[in-house]
Chain A
């Protein structure tokens, strides 16, 4: 039925380069009215760039978007909205102290003479939109009092109030409880009935299988495959992670994993975590896998003390750690290595100061820093991480990969027992990646336990000794040995728990 309708939106040959990296490479997309299109691909495959081009947030280097055959003025968010392209962002952007009606009609409130706000008309139009989505909320309620899922669906209503013909969803169910996923999918069905097209960006492949009419798969900015019918979950996994056993896990030399438990997490619960157990031994790399909002990254942030927990316990070498204090976590032997270097690097400081900051207590006399001791120790560590550099040079003059080396050295200096790595190779170029991987292995060899969060299944499968899969704040699977392959990881990560 859908297939007979003409294509009203066509994007052709979209190309966008960011500083040498092709985010989009000649990508094309065509949609029919009422079509629900799944958009899938690994992180960095170009999904969000494509979405940003369509919504007018990014001007492509090449290519065009046609709406009803007429070219769309690219790079103007207002033009995209007027052409009927609206999006529901991953992050909520609501004005929580305003009413539902005001939020739904935000930015195009009906006006009377002299700019007077027509309140009755505003409420009536908001109610119409909400009704058409079968959303049962009062237009006069303050948005802050609604449940999160209702706030999210209200964002759909806002998109629709612009007479949208295409609504783009970016990971709409990432942080939604299982029972509420049906509400989101029901809303999408309601859009289809109204003849509105949907572009559904998600890592949850089973949802794609359930609701999408067709699927576009992006890889390295290119359209790698397009399916007119929605493929099954298993087919999607195969398309996304072609089975390559050539990673040669056995080829790398790993010392025996010690039997000594370094990190013990028991029954940890908090705002985004439910009853998590995790153990890591000396010399072991434990991978944490999961899509955005699954709890993998949240666990690491909780362990480092950036986020407090409510129940359960965390212990390093048998001694318990109080929640919510990075200071105590670091003193107990925790080290945090984020891929987002803005969370680790002191840009105005020298390499030496960056390396020594977490271990200053080791070289002092009285309240003073013993600079000669400090210099010697930092020299030693920089050699160990293979960073040949003047210690006094500002760290901002180094490449991202070398900055990361300095941060590795910081935790070597503090003799960290547990290293928490949060996407350590995010934004690092291909050549530096293996180097950082080797440093992670070196840290293990020194007897530390490593907990690795990554959005990259290849990286997880390659480095981890064991991989724990998270969904909605809790552990849903554990893979190790020959079962630990990128494809199996992806399959486990992307299946919505019943």
Chain B
């Protein structure tokens, strides 16, 4: 087989590349596996999603029923729905770990700003993946969540209403919104993910792994990528796969009562865990702050905080110059602490 290829293509460059590729070794290197795990889980979601897409009916009258049929009648249907659900949960979890590790280890600093931007956008896409995928259930909770998420965006001045209409495909959350979210979930977002992922990975390849400022000069001998780092990756991926399958088997996700636009949302309705920090923030703000609309202030603060985080490579001048930057370690820690505390408060409220 190799011989067949080698007779037709010159593979010496590739072989040379595989031999030369090394990754830095230092005491924070474990965090660098989170990105690989996220990559693995995204691939896993692509494959399991393809199976589900063969049977799901994206029409408001049949969507809910088609999921019940996938789970009850289709061969292995319960399994694929369940692993797709848990794969998504873990993917978002590892993406957050990856993002916060990058933030705290300042891996976004020069020259890797574009890596940070592409990764940040991928994080946003993944969250939107989560929201749109979860809406496809067309149950009461999903309906309330999408009403709030799309309704909240309209609090952004000037462009809010346009975004809301674009996402909803109308003035209300209706069956048309379901078709739209289906199209986002199975077509627009996967394409965007592929494109950005290729850019993200090409950039990783181009720059090599970042070494945290604190570890510079202290690293041990770099690890060869083939096979040492790859094997480590593979081991972790296999463990993660085991966790996904175990969770999927022991804790299959529920599906609520079919959505009814005129019914009140269920008591103490809550979004998925990765929205809890936003949900809790919205609950925190009173309707009226010194005569101003509290909702608009809350949404604007969230947008500003996210904007600042997105542009952080430009604000952090010290790590840009290769110095330790304790102010931004503090800022990063604050972001992480806010996320964790609000998620926990939201979960138990």
Partners in one complex: no
